[in-house]
Amino acid sequence: MYLGFLDMNAGFLIIIAAMIIGLIARSKVSGTYKRFSKVSTERGLSGASVAREILDSYGLANIGIQEIAGNLTDHYDPRNNMLSLSRNVYSGNSIASVGVAAHEAGHAVQDATGYSPFKLRQKLVPVANLGSQMLFPLIIGGLFFHMTALYYLGAALYGAALLFQLVTLPVEFDASRRAVVYLERSGNMTGAELAGVKKVLSAASMTYVAAALASLGQMVWLLLAGRRR
């Protein structure tokens, strides 16, 4: 029993540590983005124009770019071949805007070139969503009705959500790498501007690391709690 108590505490500590890392990561990305959103590129490049250049360089004229509301709501949707950029990123000419737009264009390139982790992540989306939605109903149901199988079914579904988070890491890192490589080769940005882009993308990547750690911590806790039962 004492060892079980220690196991549960260890699980809680993992979750708390992940939450703290997440808060730090979100604070860092917010601060870094705000800092470089105030620094314009020397050539006045907008996020939309840079994204278009990247897509066209890969022959991806079929992928559209649209402006959407919100802040940092930027994303690429492979279902309709659409790159959606938030207002500040779409029309902004800051270092932050260019970095974010180039990163999202990198996802479109991953899709077009058949980048394996990207394809795997897309296949995991439905089951990951199901796992996130059904986790607590199954866990609570399993505890309430004393059905261990139901409990572990919830944990298994959440495992799919965890796998999604883990696969997301190489996808996001690779998209940032592609963005930086293109910007370096294009010659459209100065060394100082590229350094700023790298800082913005590096800060953003930490939010995905934090999310993966949080999911891992919760999974460990679920397994420890199940074993204790």
Catalytic residues: 104
DSSP code for 229: -
Contact 109, 58 (CB under 8 A): yes
Q: Measure the CA–CA gap between 225 and 151, rounded to whole angstroms.
A: 10
**Best CA proximity match to 58, nearest among 83, 27, 37, 34:** 83
DSSP code for 84: E
Contact 100, 107 (CB under 8 A): no
Map 194-218 to HEC letters.
HHHHHHHHHHHHHHHHHHHHHHHHH
Contact 85, 101 (CB under 8 A): yes
Beta-ladder partners of 85: 67
